[in-house]
Amino acid sequence: MSLLREGPMVVLPGNRHVLIAPNTPPSTADILAFARRTLAPWPDERRALIQWAWLATGSSSEFEDSVRAWCREVGWHERTFYRRKERALVRVAAAKNRADRDLRTRDGDGS
């Protein structure tokens, strides 16, 4: 548990935890975990963002149809989906900026 206080880390196969060097950008998995933690109080925004990211991995021509079908399936209006996704992005970006600023302040950079 003391590693958690040292900085960002990744979990490797076999549940091995490895500390990332402080100046190394976080991996995609870390960003996803960060977004999930940040959006925990807002489950609908978290769900919209995760679904948007998953749907975006497909072809762009199918994306809008996929969003439409998913919204129909869960009973959301498309506008609601996009508003929730945008709120999620703003919240995650603000939290990440705060975390980066706090890290720089803690490390004495102060910029």
The per-residue pLDDT for range 78-108, each reduced to its tens digit, is 999 999 999 999 999 999 888 888 877 876 6
Q: Are 19 and 6 in contact (CB under 8 A)?
A: yes
CA distances from 7 to 21, 79, 83, 100 (A): 8, 38, 33, 11
For 94, the 3-state DSSP assignment is: helix
pLDDT of residue 23: 58
Q: What is the pTM of this model?
A: 0.66
Contacts of 107 (CB under 8 A, 6+ apart): 22
Task: Tell me the longest C-alpha to C-alpha distance in the chain.
Answer: 50
Per-chain mean pLDDT for the chain = 78
Instruction: Please report, as a single letter, which amino acid is at residue 73.
Output: E
